[in-house]
Chains A and B, each alone.
Chain A
């Protein structure tokens, strides 16, 4: 299959990207790894007049310390996230989620920024990044803004990103001592996308849950935090009973899709329970 013709430009800095987006925002698309966009273009489900390749933009690359956290360039590929020592140390949840995206070949091309901006409701990274309280750095015409990931996803494939904006980096707070995390994924047998992906981050002190964040992806129109589960758990002993109760609240924390038979609710409960169980048993 062949994409329709398009024009191609290779950008060298972020402002160049923004300028080109401004020229024709409706028909210009950024290509990063291309693993979301190119299949759609080949099936001719997406039509694009101009592609802007950001692979040569140095500002979008690299992982560095940033105010107690990590600043991850939007062009960082999944495979890099999975193996990068700084990510594994400071945000192991992100590394473990990146390690189970798609397949090995996809992880070698796909990027964190591409995944977030594409906003496929069945993507792995949003769960991990929501549970990590990640913040996005977004460049626009002459501006730069920061936005919490919590507010970023509006609907399937729709985010707050304006047509002339570019995501430049993702800032992830450093793991606090005593915190543990895990990403538990149920891959679709065909696509490999999560049918449900649960990212759990729990900080325990003296046997009690000091703080926790649980995020779900793949199961609803947008990834969401299981706020009700978090409320149940926070301040409680990290016990089997607390986990069971928290798991029961997971489905009610967000909007599920395709749940007429209750199966998706069940998956929420089972996967939140298992993810928290893994953490409790020290596997996280």
Chain B
């Protein structure tokens, strides 16, 4: 049998998805079900004076209307589950339905529950809320200014936390030959999973159990948090997420909506469904990024970077969402030196509250922000010292013999060969030739540019001890049960919760390889707290790294027991039994064999098991990683800029990623492609904008530019393989690399193209208009 690990197996999950048989939350229909519609604040900041529900209640078909006051004493605050250490973090009380103040446009104040979703929306429009509008602040640095409107009355200066890492680098800067300073605006993004959020809750009055089907990346975290809010013990609360239509971080958080319908389902003793509209998704589902960053780099005149200092104002919106405080701190600040051997670094982050939609993880979560600033600074520093940005990268990249490499924030990069990935990318792109052509084209008034991103990122969250040390209020290990049935078929239960990444296939490949079974004999079950004892979900590129490793460990337990059974059957010692490709054999006597399936059947029949052995065959493992994994690579973007219109054309995009051992190359490529489009989307197209009153100006797909198929050329992807030394499968995470690496590669390329105009930086997204304005400001095309 050929190796299953490493093969481009077609996906198991597709069998249902291409037939329209997926089970998304909004597909749920339960007899007696009623529908919820939320009444949301149109104001970004206001005092709620009165809520009049009388007219709404009179609409035929309306079952109930609840306001914040109805829930106030029965439902706990929506919690925050990440408290960065030594940051003096203030909690931001977040009622599921607001009753005193609304703090962003979209904050829910009431819910209407009716027989049909049409009626629910009709009646929601009839709930009269009297607001006393108050001034709002939307920019994170403006929020820190004296006299800025406060988002929460008792949080002074709107600073939710102030976090620092690293040691003082002042002395290095004072003595440096070259210091480059720059301010970056990491614009706000809207994650925009194609499936809007939804929740269906059903109360079983006979057993006092609540079942919640919800669009989540982490059902067990949802169960834990909702248990606290609703006062329903975990063993009476079941959370299910079968098919989830994309998430990208936006379905990590526990949201008010699912708590409200859960509470209402019990209150009314009726199943209740709530489905988000796209408009709500824009205003209510968490956003990503949104920093103002002051960055300084110190170095020598000959291209050696000595120190980096970062001060960031991270916009967290009106309330601290579930994982929000960890994103701009731990996942950002600790890796601002990037892939470079910069000996000195410090990071300081102000977690700012504003009257905007809460900000939480979005693909890459902190690492795209860190990678962007260091990759851009390398280019700006190169320019300052008059060197080629590629040469400066070669000087400063961490050398291959330095691994494991401890960065200035004491992260230990597990393995790497950054030069190897760069070399491979340069095999695909003739850099010197490009520079020659660039010169020639400039003489003809044509502007092309090339941009690099030689990145590293930290993912595969993560060691639980570290989770504790950095204030994450949960573990980050993962669980797996590999249950072998009497016929030798296998059900795998994972605590990870894939929602598009394809681990029903990848995980089956791991088990198929290790147990020597056909992949179609293996079913992977996820996303149901009634079936899986515990797990921490899918985010931070952790699913294959941590969940896959747990499966590997569970496999070993299964093999160990089956080997004992086989040895017993073969009447030899356990040490004399080899196991290969699903077959136990006596070492040196290959004709004497027991198949894995025979061992499985024996385990269940239990007619003749080794003395003292329990019947049945299954392995359960809980894998707690030793470290994060550190994927890396080189991305190269080539663009042309039309100075007449400011249009940017992406001519070529080369991505060489090293994500360790690859289990399914087709799925890995898919992850990279998806990430690239999101990262390039940030560079060129996407950006959420608010007006001064806190109204989202980009609240629909008519205004918010989601990348489309026609915006892109074919991507050129390749890999180097540097296994993770501490992960038993040698894998590293791949879900976020594309989004992390691509944004600065694009911006570097555009700035390279614009260099003849004396343009060094522009705020993202690099819309044609901005580019044209910048060229015009520099005197145009002459």
Contact = CB atoms under 8 A, between A and B. Distances in A.
Whether the complex brings A and B within 8 Å at their CB atoms is answered: yes
Interface in A167-196: 186, 188-191
Given A1-B277, A2-B118, A191-B702, A261 B708 contact: no
A5 interface: yes
Contacts of A2: 117-118, 121-122
B706 interface: yes
* Most B C-beta atoms less than 10 A away, residue of A5, A186, A266: A266
B704 interface: yes
B403 interface: no
B125 A263 contact: no
A260 B492 CA distance: 61
B703 A1 contact: no
Nearest to B706: A190
Contacts of B704: 190
B773 interface: yes
Nearest to B780: A266
Contacts of B117: 2
A190 B776 contact: no
Interface string A1-12: 110110000000
A267 interface: yes
A270 B772 CA distance: 12
A263 B772 contact: yes
B712 to A, nearest CB: 12
B168 interface: no
A44 interface: yes
A6 B14 CA distance: 40
A43 interface: yes
Contacts of A186: 645
Contact of B685 (A4, A5, A189, A262): A189
Contact of B702 (A4, A44, A190): A190
A270 B645 CA distance: 8
B769 A263 contact: yes
Interface in B767-782: 769, 772-773, 776
Interface in A251-275: 261-263, 266-267, 270
Contacts of A270: 644-645
A30 to B, nearest CB: 23
Nearest to A42: B277
B204 interface: no
Main secondary structure of the interface of A (DSSP, over half): loop
Contact of A261 (B645, B706, B776): B776
Given A189-B711, A190-B701, A190-B706, A4 B776 contact: no
A95 to B, nearest CB: 21
A16 to B, nearest CB: 28
Nearest to B122: A4
Nearest to B777: A261
A51 B169 CA distance: 69
B9 interface: no
A263 B773 contact: yes
Contacts of A263: 646, 769, 772-773
B705 A262 contact: no
A43 B122 CA distance: 12
A261 B645 CA distance: 13
B487 interface: no
B121 A190 contact: no
Given A190-B706, A270-B645, A1 B711 contact: no
A266 B706 contact: no
B773 A1 contact: no
Interface string B94-125: 00000000000000000000000110011001
Nearest to B646: A263
Nearest to A270: B644
Contacts of B279: 1, 43
* Most B C-beta atoms less than 10 A away, residue of A1, A186, A190, A270: A190
Nearest to A4: B122
Nearest to A190: B705
A199 B769 CA distance: 22
A263 B647 CA distance: 12
Nearest to A193: B702
A191 B708 CA distance: 11
Interface in B251-293: 277-279
A5 B122 CA distance: 8
* Most A C-beta atoms less than 10 A away, residue of B644, B773, B776: B644
B644 A189 contact: no
Interface string B686-711: 00000000000000011111101001
Contacts of A261: 769, 773, 776
B776 A189 contact: no
B749 to A, nearest CB: 19
A262 B125 CA distance: 42
B121 A266 contact: no
B645 A190 contact: no
A267 B125 contact: no
A124 B730 CA distance: 55
B121 A1 contact: yes
Contacts of B702: 190-191
B121 A189 contact: no
A87 B625 CA distance: 67
A5 B59 CA distance: 13
Contact of B776 (A5, A44, A191, A262): A262
A190 B644 contact: no
Nearest to A273: B644
Contact of A189 (B645, B708, B773): B708
Contacts of B776: 261-262, 266
A93 B776 CA distance: 33
Contact of A44 (B125, B278, B645): B125
Contacts of A1: 121, 277-279
Nearest to B644: A270
A190 B703 contact: yes
B298 to A, nearest CB: 37
Nearest to B704: A190
A186 B685 CA distance: 15
A1 B278 CA distance: 8
Interface string A191-219: 10000000000000000000000000000
The list of the 6 closest CB pairs from A to B, nearest first, reads A189-B705, A190-B705, A191-B702, A2-B118, A1-B277, A270-B644
Given A43-B279, A261-B773, 16 more contacts: A1-B121, A1-B278, A5-B118, A44-B125, A186-B645, A190-B702, A190-B703, A190-B705, A191-B701, A261-B776, A263-B646, A263-B769, A263-B772, A266-B644, A266-B776, A270-B644
24 contacts: A1-B121, A1-B279, A2-B121, A2-B122, A4-B122, A5-B118, A5-B122, A43-B279, A186-B645, A189-B708, A189-B711, A190-B701, A190-B702, A190-B705, A191-B702, A191-B703, A261-B769, A262-B776, A263-B646, A263-B772, A263-B773, A266-B644, A266-B772, A267-B645
Interface of B: 117-118, 121-122, 125, 277-279, 644-646, 685, 701-706, 708, 711, 769, 772-773, 776
